[in-house]
Structure 1
Amino acid sequence: MKTSPDLFNMESLSFDDERHGRAEGGFLAHVLRHSNRRHKYFYFRTAIELRAIAEKFGRSNYRYLHLSCHADVEGISTTLDSLSYQELAEALRPYLRGKRVFFSACGAANQQSADALMTATGCLSVMGPSEDIRFDDNAIVWASFYHRIFRLPDNETEEHVVAMKRQQLIDTASRLAQFYHVPFRFFYRDNFGRVQSRVFSKRVL
């Protein structure tokens, strides 16, 4: 099934983040409202809400899933709950074929999350910052990332075109890592279906 090249944006923050207005996903939704690109934004506080919103993601058939939250090498945190990457994958697994996952979460772009989300799901890639980054850097780099990729040619229905799109994402992430001094890690499937990874280092100041 062909996916729609649009963004499904999910966010869950701590009470302190909420109090101080540190909603990077909300900022991203505000930016996207000024474009012609379709997008959806959902805020959630619990694992139950996450699973309900995941079903909406599946029904939308949007290709890009952006997940803004707190995380570490073991899993993610919602406002009131925590989930291992395996639990997150179980919630998302029915909806990941032909999709790409982007974590706006420190520590989430790791081998454990990639294995959970990309094993037997058909997920094409997982990307996120490879170390802790500031909120303001996080917000601007993701807005710039989507601004760029939404202007790239769209067609991921054929194998050679998927590979071309993958390279475009790699090139974009690499340039942004240098420009904004924010490192990324990108997990993807090569032409043989094997999961590979690339690290895009920030520029040395």
Structure 2
Amino acid sequence: MGRERRTGWAGLAGLGGTPEVNRDGPDPLYMQIADVVAGLISGGSLGSGEAVPSEAELRRRYRIAAVTARRVHRELRERGLVFTVAGEGTFVGRQDDTLPASHLTPRYQVIAQDLAARIRAGEIAPGRRISSQVALRKRYGVGLGTVRHAMSMLREAGWVSARGAKGTFAAATDQWPDPEVWHKMIAVTFGAGVVEDAPGDGPPDVRAGMTQRAVPR
């Protein structure tokens, strides 16, 4: 879609620097920061479709942990003020009012893309155990069904491998999917009609009909 990230804190008139929060106050930091961003939205400083400060920017500006920055965006989404597009950012407004249905991203795919990006960047090194499904459910604020769909997609692509009761581990670099194959997997899932958190069936076979990776197992 190529959305332009022209906002953030930069260019917002009248802020006079990063808005302050009370680290010793009764309200959690993530809630205070979410209130700041919500105020920018309600005051018109951040308009519909404009990017809100990224998690990385929130971490840098407020010197907070990644989990706190993530909770800021989650809080704003729960208030119905913003939506997140995988690989692009978080934007003001409602996703279904701003994007065509073909561009709606299932939550399991957002999780799979996030974990794949962390593996590719070395944050999760090859051979390292991936967090448990319960831990991932808590981290992303989704149901176990959504987490299972995400892990299935990663296994199908070759980003991770399951080792029975030991858990799921990041795959070696020679097992990773070709970037074009991975991007095609992501594209195919748009409009797939997956019902999130539904028991039973797994995600669709998004690699059906694709050229398989010529990588020895």
Q: Quickly name the TM-score band, shorter chain normalised.
A: 0.3 to 0.5
The alignment's TM-score, normalised by the length of structure 2, stands at: 0.34
Larger Rg: 2
Higher relative contact order (CA 8 A, sep 6+): 1
- Higher relative strand content: 1
